[in-house]
Amino acid sequence: MSMLGSSSPSRRRSAPLLAACVAGAAVATLRRHIGADIGAFLPPAAARAVVQPAGQPAAGAGVGVVGEEASGAAAASPSATVGAGSLATAVAALAVAAAANRGERRGPAAISRSRLRATGLDEAPPEIMEEALEKKASAEAAVASGAAVVTPRSSGGTVSLNLAVQRMWTRADYLHVHAISGIIHTGIGLIYILDVLVADLATLSGTPTSTQLPFDIVLFSMLAGAANAVSGLQVTLMPRPFKDVWQLLGFGEDGNLKSAGFVNTAVFYFILSYQSLRVLPSYPEFLQPLDPAFAFASLLALVHAIFIINSWVGKGLSQGFALGISLPLLLNVPVSYHLLLGGQAWVENLSTVYPGWPDLFFSANYALAWAGSFVTLVLSLYERKVTDLNGRLLLTVFTGAITFAMIPLRGYLSVPEWFQGQWMVMLTLTPPS
């Protein structure tokens, strides 16, 4: 306020012009975003909103934030008013009051990222931070006009399709590569898994049926999945906060376990995709020397995944559940072991004994890679508040249901010997001598 009081006459004369320019930008933004609830974009711990200054009437002097819990009064009740301790809000309110006393009109000031850091919003995903900047700018514009701000709340934690697209189709994604490749991979992958499942169910019922989706399209979806995994590692898309690679990977006291999970899932996508292609008869011979590198990388990624899972213990995850998640990951150890020490000889021996194994192994690893990618999408939907906790749970259960229905059924039809007493061969993938 002292800075405003000491401004030179030239600055005071130029203030209305500057305010008009800023207000024009805010109006352009509001045309796209009017009516959205800024609280829906923020983490609960960081949610802040413009509030009615204490001691002032609701009409024309302050701003109330009214949710669906309010009874429709012009001012928000204490239970519906959020963020009364926001320093940025207090400064904005004082600035407007001073301008009104001088008979001046001022537009909304641009919100700096330093003010976001004061509220903890800088830890939100970039696209949410970006939208929050725009929404709060419009709220400050409402402060200047003395209007009450009514923030509609969606029922059941759901959002409109338009708002969901805005949150997922973000400018933080370079050329929208991550979104486009994710749509292609998710869509084709789901069709392929359902295609295999329906064909195998028909075969099991006595009507031998083959899959209908061309294999070239399946391979194309794997390329899209690779692009999706790489583009998902854009710094602008990773969950905050992280200051270095060490923290990004979840290590240290302040390790970001969310970003570490995204990185680990992306790495595992490439590992599972390589393993699924490796056993096909058409796999190029000149790529076979990559076996040791991928085998070693898979072992490191496995250790990292178990570390991340167990780091959540004490933060809402029980030790028993962490163990239950970690144990199935160990089933990939025999694959890494055989590729590291056996390579092509191991693939040929197992394929000779079990002719249906290559097809089973491809389908199983494809489904697992797709499931990991889809679960990452579900977590992104939850992080960006496109779905709530119940939606996240249902989508995760659906993913596990179709994946783990397809793999055993495919195995039973492709390699029936494994279900007739050869359990150790199935678990270790060691050809019988």
Give the tens place of pLDDT for each residue, 55-72: 444 333 333 333 333 333
pLDDT of residue 222: 96
Please give the Cα distance from 281 to 273 (Å, whole number): 15
**Res. 164 pLDDT band, cuts 50 70 90:** confident
**Res. 325 pLDDT band, cuts 50 70 90:** confident
Yes or no: say if 359 and 366 are a contact pair by the CB < 8 Å rule: no
Stretch 332-356: mean pLDDT, rounded? 95
Residue 324 phi/psi, 5-degree rounding, is: -65, -30
CB atoms within 10 A of CB 252: 11
Give the list of residues 6+ apart from residue 144 with CB closer than 8 angstroms, or none: 96, 99, 105, 106, 107, 108
Q: Token pair of 9, please? A: 């006459």
Please give the Cα distance from 138 to 135 (Å, whole number): 5
Report the sign of the C-alpha dihedral through residues 88, 92, 93, 97, in that order. Answer: positive
Say if residue 412's pLDDT is above 50: yes
pLDDT of residue 159: 73
* Residue in the structure block whose two tokens are 């249901």: 401
User: How many whole angstroms from its chain centre is CA 421?
Assistant: 42
CB atoms within 10 A of CB 102: 11
pLDDT of residue 158: 59
CA distances from 229 to 5, 256, 318, 384, 409 (A): 54, 19, 29, 18, 28
Does a cis peptide bond (omega within 30 degrees of 0) precede residue 214?
no
**Res. 315 pLDDT band, cuts 50 70 90:** confident
Yes or no: say if 311 and 319 are a contact pair by the CB < 8 Å rule: no
Stretch 164-178: mean pLDDT, rounded? 87
Say if residue 312's pLDDT is above 50: yes
**Res. 139 pLDDT band, cuts 50 70 90:** low
| E strands, 275-353, in order | none
How high does pLDDT run on average in the chain?
74
Q: Token pair of 72, please? A: 């429709």
| Between residues 142 and 161, the one the model is more confident about | 161
- DSSP tag of 313: B
pTM beyond 0.85:
no
Please give the Cα distance from 284 to 286 (Å, whole number): 6
Return the ∠ at Cα 217 (arms to 214 and 219), rounded to 5°.
115
Is 180 buried (19+), middle (13-18) or exposed (0-12) by CB count in 10 A? Answer: middle
Name the helix (H) or strand (E) containing 90: helix 87-101
CA distances from 309 to 26, 304, 317 (A): 43, 9, 9
User: How many whole angstroms from its chain centre is CA 147?
Assistant: 36
* Residue in the structure block whose two tokens are 């001088």: 102
Yes or no: say if 256 and 241 are a contact pair by the CB < 8 Å rule: yes
* Residue in the structure block whose two tokens are 């940025």: 88
